[in-house]
Chain A
Amino acid sequence: MRRLFENKLLALVLTTILLVSFIVLSAIPGSPLAGATKPLSFIVDPIQSVFQSIGTKISDFYSAIAEGMKIRKENEELKEEIAELEYQVQQGEEARIRWEELKSAFQIQDTFENYHIHGASVLTRESDEWFSVIRINVGTKSGIDTSTGSYAVVDARMNLVGRVMSTDLDSSKILPLLHEGFTVSAKVNEVNGATVMVSGDIILKNQGLCVVTRIPSNVVLKPGTELVTSGEGGLFPAGIPIGTIESFDDSDPDNLKATMRPYVSIADIKDVFIMVPNTEEDISKESTSVPTSTPSSSAVVPPESSDPKESTTESVPETTGEGAA
């Protein structure tokens, strides 16, 4: 064996073959190698969280110094805004009660009723053009497991961010909406709106745009038209806002194309929410439990903070998902 590795060229070829085999095997769905990063996540995630926490504290410190006057002024404005918002909340509460009454009366099905919403913070972003998935701080420990399928990822305003690719113990990889490997069936957000296909595009992603294809020949997508998930395919529930049409190209009538600007800005996003469908067990539990004032069975778990103090103060038991939706 020692003699074998003394031949440098042979060692190089063997290492290359080994690494290529590793790549091929890890790409096979269900391969045990896909979970090879789980032990690594046990060591790397806490270290990475420390870096994030230090960076945030430094950034906050400089912001506090540099923006002291601005913050004071903003604080006064915010106080006024709070007073106004409190009034709006009161009004909103009344509207909510009316909505609940109507919902019970007409048995309207809540679109996201059968989903658990897990909050998470973005840990890492892309390294370069090709290493461009993002990582968030929830994993199998928090009940996110991609072995049975993928999950939709949305932002705080319920706009589509991407999908969960793989999970480790304490973190998961997210394929963002702008990535060229991303595809979602969408529909124009109108009554009987046309169904189209929204995909990431290697050229358009630099401009923060997606490409829209499979547009029916009789449809004209005007700039500003809103697209939402169609629900086809089963991964993304119907009705999640994706973005608005930026431009429409009808130069080739057999191949209509459009560009779409997503609502979410991947570069600025800090917190995301994963939509995990309720299992049959959850649904049966819900049906046997005593009804509460809010009949919705969807639940929101807030983003996990890297700061233990914050997580203890912010962690609250499952609340209704209507705030997030």
Chain B
Amino acid sequence: MNKSERSRQIILYAVYITSVCCLQVTFPHVFRLFGRTCDLMLVFVVLAGYLFGTKDGIVVGLFVGMFRDYFSGPVISGKNGSPVAVLGIGLLAFFYIGLLSSILFRKRFRRKYTQAVLQVIFISAIYYSLGHIVSWVYLTLSHNIETYHSLKYILFSSILPQILVNVIASVPMLLLLRFAGPYKKGVRAGLVDGYSMEDRAWQKI
């Protein structure tokens, strides 16, 4: 990668990361569908990891996670039950999202653009399922709360509509990364992860 390509990569990633994060938290109502807000940050990290490899996935994931913590980081109960704003949960979660999206199903999906949507579905399902499990365990242990959302609510009012809106959001984002992304023609030339790159068939739509 020469100097100009590196500069393009850094500048475009910086623009995309700040734009995606700021848009999601500033205008959530604009990206709201079926009662759920598109998780642009999650979709962006998944697509960056899936299309451009582990390094990109991890770095983008860490930055997006940092923004997520900064803008709306989660709150836990501190000493005496008083709420404390914690930092790092977004960093950790999005670090793994970036990593997983770059390594999961890479053989099966072969990094084709159309199948990136499947990766968004899969990672969204994992993230929201784990989120509910962790939230339930945490609330049960720390707040001694016996009630949580019903399985029906979690499935049909939380996870499935969220996956649907994330899939919808992934289409324009995919086109953006393909045609105006951090790499020319949407292909990261230096990406070698054990697969044939001779005809770049793995990155064709």
Question: A residues within 8 A CB of B99?
Answer: 12
CA of A132 to CA of B90, assembled, Å: 12
Do B76 and A37 touch (CB < 8 A)? no
B135 to A: closest C-beta gap in Å: 6
Tell yes or no: B115 within 8 A of A by CB: no
- Known pairs A124-B26, A202-B139; A34 contacts B83 (CB<8 A): no
Contact mask A115-150 → B, CB, 8 Å, 1/0? Answer: 000000001111111111111000000000000000
Do B78 and A27 touch (CB < 8 A)? yes
Do A44 and B92 touch (CB < 8 A)? no
Question: B residues within 8 A CB of A20?
Answer: 88, 92
B70 to A: closest C-beta gap in Å: 5
Tell yes or no: A165 within 8 A of B by CB: yes
Residue from A15, A27, A125 within 8 A of B72 (CB atoms): A125
Do A44 and B67 touch (CB < 8 A)? yes
Do A131 and B90 touch (CB < 8 A)? yes
Do B18 and A129 touch (CB < 8 A)? no
Do B87 and A34 touch (CB < 8 A)? yes
B45 to A: closest C-beta gap in Å: 12
Question: B residues within 8 A CB of A128?
Answer: 37, 39, 131
Question: A residues within 8 A CB of B39?
Answer: 127-128
Do A166 and B85 touch (CB < 8 A)? yes
- Known pairs A19-B92, A133-B72; A47 contacts B78 (CB<8 A): no
Do B68 and A131 touch (CB < 8 A)? yes
Residue from A19, A27, A44 within 8 A of B70 (CB atoms): A44
CA of A156 to CA of B85, assembled, Å: 25
Question: A residues within 8 A CB of B95?
Answer: 15, 19
CA of A140 to CA of B92, assembled, Å: 28
CA of A134 to CA of B28, assembled, Å: 12
CA of A313 to CA of B29, assembled, Å: 29
Residue from B26, B75, B157 within 8 A of A175 (CB atoms): B75
CB<8 Å pairs between A and B, sample of 22: A19-B92, A22-B91, A26-B88, A29-B79, A37-B87, A51-B19, A51-B26, A55-B26, A123-B26, A124-B26, A126-B72, A127-B68, A129-B158, A130-B74, A131-B73, A132-B74, A132-B75, A133-B73, A165-B84, A173-B85, A175-B75, A179-B75
